[in-house]
Structure 1
């Protein structure tokens, strides 16, 4: 059963903003050859939208149907035939979305229309956002968009199911067909009750396992409670025995008596410790007084020794300083004298430098004046030479280029040649005797010879003589006139009368060019550089200098100074100044040495005077203290009191050592802790006894032994149920694996017929090749000359050709089952060479005898010769 598209109408669909109608599609081969950007791919998308995209969807694919920038509703209408019966579908998208399908059963709209299309074409509902061609069924495989056939891909699940159903009877097995899928679905449904897709336990297995774990937990809890009850009886008896021992220990009053005696000893020890503290404080006071008085005496002695030492140092420093005072005074006077001599020498040196500078300036002015006069003379010579150069340049510019002169010679030769031709072909006449009454062309005729290059009329009274020269004379005369005009135009352009004049003018220009080079050399030699005027070489620099000079002339300087004498005077003044500076430096150095010698002596004198003043001040402060007059008697008395205090401290220390407060306190704390621990132990034992008695009373009547036995019976039942469920799950897992193994084993039986059908097409393209298909019926590799080549490693052109040929093979198998089939290829075989392209076109033409084939292409040259129905957009 073949699907034939008869008419397509598109409006507001992407680039088709205005209505576009394509009619005249036939059953066989239809070829649409249009340039790029015409809308061929858009036309295929419109067909897919009409058949497979739901009318009321607003997904990404449907949104792309609307023209860019327009808020309109795309519309597609297709008229087609299925097994000879006429059908039509009309869809509106986005705005006022609707669908209508008309066929032999009448019209349908909305969801009913979509369901009728799916049933007719063998497609399923597409829920993807961008369009899934696998849901389009057979036409999703056979309607190939641009670049979709550049790699070999497997058909979708719908096509695989249809093909396997077709081949079930042929291969004699249901594994892989619809019957196999029903069995596999039942097994898969039961498998999902026990296992996850990844093989993990779930469902009934986890429920049985959880029941077993719960029963085991309950049994453990009952056993623990029973053991706890039995353990409580022994624990309560042990606690009662321990309580009797603690009560007996607490009734003993030995610790009470010991503690009373320790408390009495503690009071005596505290009094002894207090006395020891008091004696130590009294000793500290007496020792502090002795130390203070001894310190005052020691400071007085130290100040007296410091005063004596400082007086001696001050006397010695003053004597040493008096010894260097005369040397320092003499050095200061020498510095003053040297400074005066240096100032005088510097004044004389400055005067000598000024005189030399003035003399040099007068010499420079004299040289500049001479240089200016020479520059003016060179400038005058330069102007004369430039005038001569301008005249020579004007003559040199009149030189005629060799090409122009050659052209003049050619014109002169052309005139001579044309004149010779005229003379050779013209008629010559001569008139002798009397010319009275004779006219030529109405004008009186003169005596002598004449060359005629045209027809003339000569009258002799009443008679007229007509002379007609040969026909070639007229053309020769015209050639001569043209040559004369060209020669005259060339001579006028140069301003000469003839070729000889031009040659003479050219000779004069050549001589002027030679003179011009000579004048350039003379100008360059007449404008040298001048170091005095800082004038660079060149005529431009000389002109600029004279223009800026204006009317400046050499300044009269009179008699020139003696530069040598001035230079010698300046050198003498420099030497005198240098000697004066050296003398001053020497005097300053001597003064610095004297000052360095005197400085430490002055410092020592000042330091000694300061030490004397400090010692006197310290003695005065000490002697003004109120305790100074009786210091000796007070110090002796204080030392006696310190000795007595030391004796008292020793006595108190001996008394305090006999009664240790810390040891007595530790013993009392130990007794108190023992009593406290006994009380806490008694309380804890009483609490434990009450808790255990309560446990025995509450748990003893609950029948824990019976409960434990029942819990262990539930554990056994849960374990048996868990084993049964585990066995069922393993059985289903093994059954599922067995079905998969059988499916894999039988898949080769389906691949064989598919390969056989595809080989008859591929044999024409690749002779001697064997094909291998995968389980999903996708072309996997090609075997050539015993070598297995993966399709992915083939060239893009070969992959595209194999993809088209396998689609034709699948289309033939679908036709055998009566499925609606047609083949649409958008820009196919773009990587094919000429030979394979011709073979592929032959195969497509043959396929067009079994189904409708539509080729959308922009390659006019490749498909121009193909016989088929031509369609224009």
Structure 2
């Protein structure tokens, strides 16, 4: 199949008609920038061949901004030497015409014929889907889809397999897939595809079998429980009657009474020990209190002796502190006198510095006053010059628009005069002694005569010559010239000048005055950027500040004998520091004296108070009493301690066995024996009730019926399992046979893939899936899936694989046309060169339409580049 021409009308961005003819049988290269229309041309070819002409979704084909358009595409192509034409019109007045040689097909018949011819499935409704595109979907690559070859080849797998079957002479057909599909459909009714788990009737049989087995197990458990309950009833009845004869709980209760009596005696002994311990504790507390009182009195005597020693030391400290305070007071007086003298010297030194600063300021003020007076004088002069220049410029100013208009009229008048001179009739005359008369004027000798109107020339003695200029519009030219000259005169009067030269000279003088004005304004801005009045105000301020500085200088004392400031400041700092140190020393000695006096007074009070307390008669009498009481209390505590130890020994002997715990143990044992007998009685009643209930429910008959149903369901499950196994085996055999046939079919495709692949990847091979689509690349001893490759490599593999598919389709007699829209965008220079060689090789067998927005990358193919912009311009 070879496209010969493409005609596109009112299709998306082509609002008019675009015709592309003279398509070559090999490689055709179309170039243009983004949005030039490359993809629109490729889409037009796809639409005319693949889309239904009556599809309602094709309104997006309407030209931009033209809702009433009629998108139409017409292609001429050659099919095995037969001339063919296909024309479709979409959206409005839909039509479809297909001519193959002398045969004409229309509408649905034409589209069915196209589908069979090109190898795709016609859409019954809506847009063409990817899985219906077949061979064109594989070979006609849209922009950005070059890398996606697996899905496209999968959608065309049926057509590729048919082509390979013809080439290999094999017997693979779509019927095998249909049979495999039918077997797998039956198998999927019994087993799931992925996990091979039971489903459908087999799953139902297994579920029913599981339910019957569970019911059987339940009934078996109930039967075993019935037998066990009979045995348990006999055992419980025998134990109940034995306990009723022996009555063990009564023996336990008698032992509990005896143990409780022993526990009461032990409790009485414990209470007596506790009472004796409490009496001993009270006696020990009273003895401790008496001992503490005696200890306190002894400590008071020791403290009094210590305080008297401290009092003597405190009195000596008071005398020393008073002496230090007197010395610090005398030192402070001397430092105060030195500090006053140093401060007076520092004030005189500061006055000398102030006088120097005031003299400096006065000098600066004088210089500033001189500068301001000079600036004011210069600014006043510049201001006067600005006023003069302004007046001069105003007197010379001329309207620029009218000047430009005058210049234009001057040029126009010159042109009109030149045209008039050129249009006038020129007569050169040379008279030898004779004369001629023109409008009553006699002319002799030689000269030039110009005529702008019909004139009569008298030739004395000969006759007359009537001269009529040959230019027909001379009168209009004279009128136009006259009007222009009138406008020129009016403008000259309006501007007040005699000529254009005078106006231009005046304009130049005005520009000179304006330039002078600007220079004077700049001078004024330099001397008085904010005006003259701020300068005058600054001058008045400088005069006032100089006067103030003079007055402050006069008020200062005589500084002729003033010391240096640094020396005076150091002396003042030293005197101040000495004064501060003396002040701190006086304060510290005063605090020490006060603290010593306070401490001495406090100690004297403590000694007096403690001595009075020890000498008090009442205190001495009470002390003698508690000293005598201490002897008696110690003897009483010793006696109580002996009694407590004796009773504790007796208590320890009685506690060898715990009678209270034994009483409790025997009571609990009696309760347990009685409760166990009651529980046996309850269990016996329950077992009898259960046995009566189970015996009346027909447990044996139900168990026999369930076992029979279980055997029947096991046979059903076995039959279905056998069918599933047979179907699985048949599916495996059919798939293996089909895969073997497909492997035989892969050989021609593998050979063509290797033919192109070696250009980019030497010593490599492509692995193919069951649908003949590439799934992995083998190279350098490793296998990479297509998804693991880079985007650019997948794009290159997509181009090479499509060239191989096209070779196989052509060899089997199917039409091949390759369209690549912006392919190899992500390819480096070295691999692009290899792709170019592959494309040129394929172009010897197929027609290829290559669209690109990078013409500079494809200018070495030896193929003429056809610019989309040029095609649109030619249309």
TM-score > 0.5 by shorter chain = yes
What does residue 178 of structure 2 align with? 182
Cα distance between partner residues in 2 of 1:617 and 1:100: 144
Question: What's the CA shift for 1:669?
Answer: 1.4
- CA displacement, residues 301-347 of structure 1 (integer Å, 9 cap, x when unaligned): 45654554555455544444445554444443333333333333444
Instruction: Determine helix, strand or coil for the equivalent of 1:123.
Output: coil
Cα distance between partner residues in 2 of 1:575 and 1:741: 114
Instruction: Determine helix, strand or coil for the equivalent of 1:173.
Output: coil
What does residue 194 of structure 2 align with? 198
1:76 aligns with 2:71: yes
Question: What's the CA shift for 1:735?
Answer: 0.9
What does residue 137 of structure 2 align with? 140
Cα distance between partner residues in 2 of 1:697 and 1:249: 34
1:242 aligns with 2:239: yes
Contact 1:247-1:682 within 8 A present in 2 as well:
no
Question: What's the CA shift for 1:731?
Answer: 1.9
Residue correspondence of structure 1 range 242-281 to structure 2 within 5 A: 242-250=239-247, 255-256=249-250, 259=253, 263=257, 266=260, 270=264, 273=267, 277=271
Cα distance between partner residues in 1 of 2:39 and 2:604: 118
Contact 2:157-2:772 within 8 A present in 1 as well:
yes
Cα distance between partner residues in 2 of 1:572 and 1:586: 21
Contact 2:259-2:663 within 8 A present in 1 as well:
no
- CA displacement, residues 516-570 of structure 1 (integer Å, 9 cap, x when unaligned): xxxxxxxxxxxxxxxxxxxxxxxxxxxxx99x99999999x99996789999999
Residue 165 of structure 1 is aligned with which of 147, 162, 166? 162
Cα distance between partner residues in 1 of 2:568 and 2:116: 132
Residue correspondence of structure 1 range 425-824 to structure 2 within 5 A: 601=600, 604-609=603-608, 611=610, 662-663=660-661, 665-687=663-685, 689-691=687-689, 693-694=691-692, 697-698=695-696, 702-703=700-701, 706-707=704-705, 710=708, 713-714=711-712, 717=715, 720-721=718-719, 724-725=722-723, 727-748=725-746, 750-751=748-749, 755=752, 774=768, 802=800, 805-806=803-804, 809-810=807-808, 812-813=810-811, 816=813, 824=819
Instruction: Determine helix, strand or coil for the equivalent of 1:9.
Output: strand
What does residue 341 of structure 1 align with? 334
C-alpha distance 562-305 of structure 1, shift in aligned 2 (>3 A): same
Instruction: Determine helix, strand or coil for the equivalent of 1:22.
Output: strand
Question: What's the CA shift for 1:216?
Answer: 4.9
Instruction: Determine helix, strand or coil for the equivalent of 1:732.
Output: helix
C-alpha distance 365-662 of structure 1, shift in aligned 2 (>3 A): closer
- CA displacement, residues 771-801 of structure 1 (integer Å, 9 cap, x when unaligned): 98956566899999xxx99999999998798
Residue 18 of structure 2 is aligned with which of 22, 28, 31? 22
Cα distance between partner residues in 2 of 1:653 and 1:783: 101
What does residue 490 of structure 2 align with? none
Cα distance between partner residues in 2 of 1:234 and 1:221: 20
Instruction: Determine helix, strand or coil for the equivalent of 2:89.
Output: strand
C-alpha distance 194-663 of structure 1, shift in aligned 2 (>3 A): closer
Residue correspondence of structure 1 range 375-414 to structure 2 within 5 A: none
Instruction: Determine helix, strand or coil for the equivalent of 2:72.
Output: strand
Cα distance between partner residues in 1 of 2:662 and 2:309: 74
Residue correspondence of structure 1 range 270-309 to structure 2 within 5 A: 270=264, 273=267, 277=271, 284=278, 301-302=294-295, 304-305=297-298, 308-309=301-302
What does residue 498 of structure 2 align with? none
Contact 1:187-1:736 within 8 A present in 2 as well:
no
C-alpha distance 319-32 of structure 1, shift in aligned 2 (>3 A): closer
Cα distance between partner residues in 2 of 1:580 and 1:157: 109
C-alpha distance 773-67 of structure 1, shift in aligned 2 (>3 A): same
What does residue 521 of structure 2 align with? none
C-alpha distance 574-129 of structure 1, shift in aligned 2 (>3 A): same
* Stretches of structure 2 lacking an aligned partner (at least 5 in a row): 371-541
Instruction: Determine helix, strand or coil for the equivalent of 1:156.
Output: helix
Contact 1:208-1:725 within 8 A present in 2 as well:
no
Q: How many residues align?
A: 664
Cα distance between partner residues in 2 of 1:26 and 1:670: 118
C-alpha distance 699-614 of structure 1, shift in aligned 2 (>3 A): farther
For the aligned residue pairs, the C-alpha RMSD in angstroms reads: 6.9
Residue correspondence of structure 1 range 300-379 to structure 2 within 5 A: 301-302=294-295, 304-305=297-298, 308-309=301-302, 311-313=304-306, 315-323=308-316, 325-350=318-343
C-alpha distance 193-835 of structure 1, shift in aligned 2 (>3 A): closer
Question: What's the CA shift for 1:42?
Answer: 1.4
Cα distance between partner residues in 1 of 2:153 and 2:307: 124
Contact 1:196-1:202 within 8 A present in 2 as well:
yes
Contact 1:307-1:612 within 8 A present in 2 as well:
no
Cα distance between partner residues in 1 of 2:629 and 2:557: 112
Question: What's the CA shift for 1:690?
Answer: 1.0
Question: What's the CA shift for 1:245?
Answer: 2.0
What does residue 91 of structure 1 align with? 90
Normalised by the length of structure 1, the TM-score is 0.55
Structure 1 window deviating more from structure 2 (221-230 vs 825-834): it is 825-834
Contact 2:284-2:637 within 8 A present in 1 as well:
no
Cα distance between partner residues in 2 of 1:749 and 1:565: 115
- CA displacement, residues 464-512 of structure 1 (integer Å, 9 cap, x when unaligned): xxxxxxxxxxxxxxxxxxxxxxxxxxxxxxxxxxxxxxxxxxxxxxxxx
Instruction: Determine helix, strand or coil for the equivalent of 1:78.
Output: strand
